[in-house]
Amino acid sequence: MPEASSPHDAIEDWRAEADQLTWTTPFHTLFAENPPFHDWFVGGELNLAANCTDRHLPLMGDRVAFHWEGEPGDRRSWTYRELHRESCRVAAGLRELGIVRGDRIALHVGWLPESVATLMAAFRIGAEVTVIPIMLPVESLSARLADFGPTLLVTQDGGWRRGTILPLKSRADDAMEAVDSIEHTVVIRRAGIEVEWFEGDRWYHDLAGTDDTAESLPADHPAYAVYLANRGGQPVAIHLGSANIAAATIANHRHVMSPNPEEISWCAAEISWPGGQFYGILGPLLSGRTAVMYEGTLDFPDPSRAWQIVERYAVSSVLTSPSVVAALRAWSLVADHDITSLQRMVTLGEPLDPRLRDWLRELLGEAAVLADGWGQMELGGLVSYDLPEPTGLPRPGVALLDPEGNEVRDGEAGEWVLRHPWAGTMRAVETSGPDPTAYHWDRYPGRYATGDKARRRPDGSVEFLGRYDEVISISGQLVSLTEVSQALLDHPFVAAAEAFEKIDARLGRSVGAAIVLEPGAPDDDRTLRDMQDSVRELLGGLSRPQVLLVLDRIDRSVTRPALQEGLATLAAGAGDSALRLPWSAVAETLNRR
């Protein structure tokens, strides 16, 4: 990755990105030192929604902003003018409900045109948004709502998932029983199912008003609250500023995702994933491009759905996670579809396995651009790529350091550290647990410590080796191995537990866990599945251990990194299953290392 030659160059790189945006009040200072987050675009004001829609209307109002496809096969295309009109209507309706600048709005929705319009409406008003996964169980949904404290919840009557309708409104009603802050619930009619109605409920299509104002907001006004993996059992939310996320996202989109204005891009991911929102919605809209948006999962009604979408909309650029790429390779149903339009594949969220890269190269041809991205939500998303040539993206300057702050030699492992400020960086952290700010900024004063372990290869490229902490990335979502272990220990039949990262060459990354049962505890497949499912119910679907190793003991004299590596080796190749092994099998694996 090319590096900025000096802090001044790294900061000045952002001026060109800021010039791509429309400011209601121009900033007078590009950067002002104010550790740890620093201040960017000082004195400037803009509106994120106006930059996504309003400014495009004079020249591109009739251009398609996005093509949308629902899981059952229904389709809609909205122009920039139509998206602007709808988001203004929704914003006016929300103002009629009393929503004002600084309020918080939670979205518990799937990927719908109405979801995009609601995001834009929130940004027009100056409300802060968080998007909550539709697969989250009621208990976890309730905890997230209670922590975020929204004034308004937006959800659906029901949502499609692999041919089944999930009762989202009903789940939300149950979750809100323990939440005091919510004054109104807006319900998008998607599935047409019957729902219970309570005081404060409103249909999305009934929202109405006349105020289409786009608030002029300071550059660091919070637009997003993004939740990271829990630390110490407590939720951690970071807050991203409007101009910060706008500059970082438009830079990534115009330099990497879709440098050609005529390209059609598709972020094949869930809308609840911040990457889906940043690079599937904000990036294309800020850049005046056309995007594709898909509601469902890529294997329904058959595993060729992804290739059907690429062919139908002549998609030229796809952004997704390596786990999705692994699934696409496993399904391998490409032959019947014309995907010659696809000339750019960008992955993010976890390292791209070299074998997956080779498969993509064979599939797309030598001329296609393959880019594996690295970034963190704390930095506003993507920061760098393994592209061989400079991309025009601002450069943070990087170093690989040992714990004493010295640069390591090529081939040695060190921590990936940013040397210069980055404009997308979060503006604040909100948690009742340990504050992650010190972890990032205090260990190497004046630099940002990522927590990622890496080493340089002989050709100058970087190989990422995992995390120094107990947080891993799965399909772009952060999962705490410590929290998974603790969730298993909370089960009455578990005496000891150790979670680890499981890597499958075909299906990508997942969580695995080893457990020791309490004396006399039942050791049957149903009980073990209940343990796996209890983790999902507490922490969400990606935290569920896909394989469970049942051991007679765990020797704690073995260091945790070595133990986790040995367990991952034993679990390699195992599907969604339980394996019963003696500790001697683990010890033998460790001795072979």
Q: Is residue 430 part of a domain?
A: no
pLDDT tens sequence across 481-512: 887 888 898 888 999 999 988 876 555 678 99
Pairing of strands 448-456, 462-467: antiparallel
365 vs 459, higher pLDDT:
365
Instruction: Please indicate, yes or no, if residue 444 is contained in any of the structural domains.
Output: no
Check residue 524 and give its pLDDT: 87
Q: Is the confidence at residue 83, as pLDDT, over 60?
A: yes
Is the pLDDT assigned to residue 4 strictly greater than 70? no
Weakest mean pLDDT among 180-184, 370-374, 433-437, 492-496: 433-437
* Residues 397 and 494 placed together within one structural domain of the fold: no
Examine the fold and report which residue of 401, 420, 446 is the final residue of a domain before the chain moves on.
Answer: 401
- Residue 463: predicted pLDDT: 80
Express each pLDDT in 119-134 by its tens digit.
Answer: 999 999 999 999 999 9
Secondary structure class of 535 (helix, strand, coil): helix
Examine the domain organization and report whether 160 and 289 are in the same domain. yes
- 558 or 315, greater pLDDT: 315
Whether cis (ω within 30° of 0) applies to the bond prior to 301 is: yes
Q: What is the DSSP letter of 88?
A: H
Q: For 329-437, list the strands marked E by DSSP.
A: 344-347, 369-376, 381-385, 398-401, 414-418, 428-431
Region of 134 (left: φ > 0; alpha: ψ -120 to 50; beta: rest) is: alpha
The last residue of one of the domains, among 401, 424, 441, is 401
Please check whether residues 482 and 580 belong to one and the same domain.
yes
Instruction: With CA atoms as reference, report the closest residue to 120 among 8, 6, 355, 277.
Output: 277
> pLDDT at position 487, please?
84
**Rounded alpha-carbon distances, angstroms, from residue 295 to 109, 110, 163, 387:** 10, 6, 12, 30
Residue 441 domain-assigned (yes or no): no
How high does pLDDT run on average in the chain? 90
pLDDT of residue 575: 67
CB 168 within 8 A of CB 156: yes
Over residues 421-443, the mean pLDDT reads 89
Nearest to 578 by CA among 501, 479, 512, 517: 512
How many domains would you assign to the chain? Answer: 2
Does residue 80 share a domain with residue 169?
yes
Secondary structure of 363-382 as H, E, C letters:
HHCCCCEEEEEEEEHHHCEE
Judge whether 427 lies within some domain: no
Radius of gyration of the chain from its Cα atoms, rounded to whole angstroms: 24
Q: What is the CATH number of the domain that holds 186?
A: 3.40.50.12780
Q: What pLDDT is recorded for position 148?
A: 96
The residue that leads in pLDDT, 493 or 591, is 493
pTM value surpassing 0.75? yes
Tens of pLDDT, residue by residue over 7-56, are: 889 999 999 999 999 999 999 999 999 999 999 999 999 999 999 999 99
Beta strands across the sheet bearing 64-69: 75-79, 64-69, 290-294, 264-267, 317-320, 344-347, 369-376, 381-385
Q: Is residue 468 part of a domain?
A: no
Tokens of 518: 């309490």
Residue 254 has pLDDT above 90, yes or no: yes
Q: Which domain range does residue 39 map to?
A: 7-401
Q: Is there a domain that residue 447 lies in?
A: no
Enter the DSSP assignment of 408: P
Q: Are residues 342 and 237 in the same domain?
A: yes
Per-residue pLDDT band at 135 (split at 50, 70, 90): confident
Indicate whether 365 and 486 sit together in one domain: no
Residue 314 dihedral angles phi and psi, to the nearest 5°: 50, 50
Same domain for 366 and 483, yes or no, is: no
Q: What is the pLDDT of residue 106?
A: 98
Could you tell me if 381 and 519 lie in one domain? no
Task: Tell me the C-alpha distance between 132 and 142, whole Å.
Answer: 11
**Rounded to whole angstroms, what are the CA distances from 556 to 346, 486, 553, 559, 561?**
40, 16, 9, 7, 11
Q: Domain ends where: 361, 377, 401?
A: 401
**220 lies in the same domain as 315:** yes
**Co-location of 523 and 394 in the same domain:** no
Contact 590, 566 (CB under 8 A): yes
* Residue 382 in this model has a pLDDT that exceeds 70: yes
d(CA 148, CA 141): 11
Residue 32 contacts by C-beta under 8 Å, 6 or more apart in sequence?
38, 39, 40, 42
> Which DSSP category does 426 fall into?
-
pLDDT score of 476 more than 60? no
**Which residue is it, tokens 């009980």?**
527
Residue 211 reports pLDDT greater than 90? no
Task: For residue 44, tell me if it sits in a domain.
Answer: yes
pLDDT at 3 over 60: no
Kindly state the percentage of the chain with pLDDT values over 90: 63
One-letter amino acid at 288 equals G
Name which of 135-149, 217-231, 552-566 the model is least confident about: 552-566
How far apart are the C-alpha atoms of 262 and 307, rounded to whole Å?
A: 20
pLDDT tens, residue by residue, 434-452: 777 888 999 998 899 998 8
Calculate mean pLDDT across residues 468-491. 77
pLDDT tens for each residue of 530-578: 888 888 766 767 788 989 999 999 988 887 777 888 888 888 867 667 8
DSSP conformational letter for 255: I
* Phi, psi for 335 (deg, rounded to 5): -55, -35
With 80 as the cut, is the pLDDT of residue 461 above it?
no
Say if 536 falls within a structural domain: yes
Which pLDDT band, with edges at 50, 70 and 90, does 232 fall under? low
CB atoms closer than 10 angstroms to residue 492? 6
Residue 524 maps to which CATH number? Answer: 3.30.300.30
Those residues with Cβ within 8 angstroms of residue 101's Cβ, 6 or more apart along the chain or in another chain: 125, 126, 127, 215, 217
Q: What is the pLDDT of residue 593?
A: 57
Q: What average pLDDT does the segment 64-68 reach?
A: 98
